[in-house]
Amino acid sequence: MFGNLFGSSEEKDYLFSHKVYMTSEGKKLACLKLARENDTSVFIAWFKDTAEEFRKYFKENGIEETRVKFATEVSRIDSHKQQPVFLEHYPLPDKEKALAENWGIMNIPVFSAMDEPLFKHLGAEKMIPMMKLLGMKESEAIQHPMVSKSIMKGQKSIAEKVIVEQNANSQSEWMQKNLLQNDQ
């Protein structure tokens, strides 16, 4: 009866569990903490630059750098031996789903930060000063169905703008090549 009172329930995303941090540094600390607590975690990056950055960061902090994989290196996940964790969102949701949906795992963590290019494009960085004012720490994640819904809505709007996708080495470069050129 009241199913649509607070928005449509048609687009629930149980495949991913979104963890959004204020800053990239907060996200890195959370990933490092998870790597130390759970040695079955495999960290997956969509972009080459992210994979290299996290491999270096993990190595500097005593975590095996081989636990960071580039998305093209991961086709299967053994859910009994590995816990996949995405280090970022891919701007196009279909690409994320295509990789992960065959694993048979639900609520795969996706760590993101409001100062990343995808979230800047969605206007999330404007919330950082307010969150700091409210006393939120960099190491605290925002997790809520409304956040997940906003991310999916943002990815969908990006997908509608991309005519022919161009590959990139970083999320920033991807946004430049695929969105800024289409906006001109």
**With contact defined as beta carbons under 8 Å apart, do 61 and 68 qualify?**
no
The torsion region of residue 137 among left (phi > 0), alpha (psi -120 to 50) and beta comes to beta
pLDDT, tens only, 136-145: 888 888 888 8
CB neighbours of 111 closer than 8 A, spacing ≥ 6?
A: 19, 21, 27, 30, 31, 85, 86, 87, 88, 141
Q: What is the CATH number of domain 16-183?
A: 3.40.50.300
**Comparison of pLDDT for 115 and 4, the residue scoring more:** 115
Q: What percent of the chain has pLDDT over 70?
A: 90
Domain residue spans in the chain?
Answer: 16-183
pLDDT, tens only, 6-31: 444 444 557 899 999 999 999 999 99
